[in-house]
């Protein structure tokens, strides 16, 4: 599976269109950095790079970020070796024309990759690596190749940096919390990165009634707004809602991707969302609840189910996911802030993480895949 080191250094063009939220750019940036750290030269074309201002303010060596606007300014741009469209975004015909004429003129292999969304559904393994002939436009006659991230060895795998475990082992939770101005007294730490989950009020209520105090570390943006709304409501409707001070809330600033990992490593329970943060929560190896990105046709129900099946989630974890994501009435939420529940979830996530760590990461598989296409 591995690309025998050193992998040949190729020039990559990754195209990323930001649909909403941060996941499209978060994944593309992480992939770009992973490739660059393995000697690849990466150009990341993105239509809205603003989130990189906080996710990765200092950039990364070997990654060039370029604005992706129509019409594309091709002046002086050589299209490179690998063309990647992330999540089905459509690359401009002028770029494809330039790529096609370059590879035809030089007799090079077509290394055009379509990076797909992450899913544990069986189609990911079935479709991973499939070619698709381009039937029209300037790329007519070329072949696109579908690359599916996934949780099993027969998919494209998950993004993971080579130094992840070493960084994790050296992490000092108390010092990191102190840097944020949090005087941690041993209370249970729960991170919250979500949209507006229907199960949120039930969980917050549970925190106020639990035996042990909980500090909720709430990420900036939608999660903060959702918690704030609930707190305002409680203040109006039942002012003594937190009289025993069992729920402590810390509203967080936007973090770099590196510090976002630190948040997940610091907590006893991680409530994450989308795609990239789910993967980071798996690497953090703590009990987790996933707020899946909702799709209009409810396609996310099957996707959530496939993930929980792969995870071998215990019944309480399945129920919590169903209620958190609104697949079932939100209340009552299973009592997840209890040691025995969290212990069972911990055992489950630890097992899953071990299984994943035994597999190659996505970048290793992608480099090997591209090398195979190039040498076929
Ligand atoms: O923001 P998201 O909900 O993105 C979503 C999903 O990827 C979804 O699958 C996709 O279809 C949709 O976008 C368009 O969640 P995700 O994927 O976890 O991305 C968040 C990124 O933001 C991730 O890279 C972590 C990063 N992040 C930080 O770097 N700092 C922060 O403070 C926070 C809260 C997040």
Nearest CA residue ID for atom 22, ligand 1: 22
Nearest CA residue ID for atom 10, ligand 1: 23
State residue 6's pLDDT score: 66
CA of 23 to the centre of ligand 1 (A): 4
Nearest CA residue ID for atom 3, ligand 1: 274
CA of 167 to the centre of ligand 1 (A): 21
CA of 140 to the centre of ligand 1 (A): 34
Q: What is the Cα–Cα distance from 161 to 241, expressed in whole angstroms? A: 43
15 lines ligand 1 (CB under 6 A): no
State residue 332's pLDDT score: 77
CA of 54 to the centre of ligand 1 (A): 12
Q: What is the Cα–Cα distance from 143 to 123, expressed in whole angstroms? A: 20
pTM of the model: 0.97
Ligand 1 atom closest to the CA of 253, numbered from 1: 32
Instruction: Show pLDDT as tens, one digit a residue, over the chain (376 residues).
Output: 455 556 789 999 999 999 989 999 999 999 999 999 999 999 999 999 999 999 999 999 999 999 999 888 888 888 999 999 999 999 999 999 999 999 999 999 999 999 999 999 999 999 999 999 999 999 999 999 999 999 999 999 999 999 999 999 999 999 999 999 999 999 999 999 999 999 999 999 999 999 999 999 999 999 999 999 999 999 999 889 999 999 999 999 999 999 999 999 999 999 999 999 999 999 999 999 999 999 989 999 999 999 999 999 999 999 999 999 999 887 778 888 889 999 999 999 999 999 999 999 999 999 999 999 999 8
Tell me, yes or no, if 275 is annotated catalytic: yes
CA of 264 to the centre of ligand 1 (A): 14
Tell me, yes or no, if 259 is annotated catalytic: no
20 lines ligand 1 (CB under 6 A): yes
- Among 16, 18, 19, 21, residue to substitute to test ligand 1 (most atoms within 8 Å of Cβ): 21
- Among 22, 57, 258, residue to substitute to test ligand 1 (most atoms within 8 Å of Cβ): 22
Catalytic residue among 261, 275, 360, 361: 275
81 lines ligand 1 (CB under 6 A): no
Q: Which domains does the chain carry?
A: 11-157+359-375 (3.40.50), 164-357 (3.40.50.2000)
Nearest CA residue ID for atom 35, ligand 1: 260
- Among 18, 24, 275, residue to substitute to test ligand 1 (most atoms within 8 Å of Cβ): 275
CA of 192 to the centre of ligand 1 (A): 12
**Contact 47/68 with Cβ under 8 angstroms?**
yes
State residue 77's pLDDT score: 87
């Amino acid at each position: 599976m591995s690309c025998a080191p050193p992998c040949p250094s190729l020039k990559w063009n990754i195209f990323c269109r930001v649909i909403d939220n941060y996941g499209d750019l978060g994944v593309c940036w992480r992939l770009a950095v992973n490739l660059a750290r393995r000697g690849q030269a990466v150009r990341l074309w993105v239509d809205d790079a603003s989130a990189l201002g906080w996710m990765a303010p200092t950039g990364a060596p070997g990654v060039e970020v370029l604005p992706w606007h129509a019409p594309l300014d091709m002046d002086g741009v050589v299209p490179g070796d690998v063309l990647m469209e992330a999540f089905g975004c459509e690359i401009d015909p002028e770029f494809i024309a330039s790529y096609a004429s370059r590879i035809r003129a030089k007799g090079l292999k077509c290394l055009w990759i379509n990076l797909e969304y992450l899913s544990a559904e069986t189609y990911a393994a079935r479709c991973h690596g499939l070619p698709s002939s381009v039937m029209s436009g300037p790329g007519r006659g070329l072949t696109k190749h579908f690359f599916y991230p996934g949780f099993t060895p027969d998919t494209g795998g998950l993004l993971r940096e080579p130094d992840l475990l070493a960084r994790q082992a050296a992490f000092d939770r108390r010092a990191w919390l102190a840097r944020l101005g949090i005087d941690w007294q041993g209370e249970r730490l729960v991170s919250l990165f979500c949209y507006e989950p229907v199960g949120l009020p039930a969980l917050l209520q549970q925190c106020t009634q639990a035996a042990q105090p909980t500090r909720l570390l709430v990420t900036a943006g939608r999660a903060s707004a959702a918690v704030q709304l609930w707190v305002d409501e409680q203040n109006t409707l039942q002012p003594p809602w937190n009289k025993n001070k069992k729920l402590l809330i810390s509203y967080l600033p936007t973090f770099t991707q590196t510090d976002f990992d630190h948040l997940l490593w610091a907590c006893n329970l991680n409530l994450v969302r989308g795609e990239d943060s789910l993967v980071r929560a798996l690497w953090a190896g703590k009990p987790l609840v996933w707020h899946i990105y909702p799709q209009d046709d409810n396609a996310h129900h099957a996707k959530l189910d496939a993930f929980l099946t792969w995870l071998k989630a215990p019944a309480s974890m399945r129920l919590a996911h169903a209620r958190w994501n609104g697949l079932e009435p939100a209340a009552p939420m299973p009592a997840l802030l209890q040691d025995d529940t969290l212990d069972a979830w911990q055992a489950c996530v630890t097992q899953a993480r071990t299984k994943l760590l035994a597999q190659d990461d996505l970048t290793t598989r992608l480099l090997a895949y591209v090398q195979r296409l190039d040498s076929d």
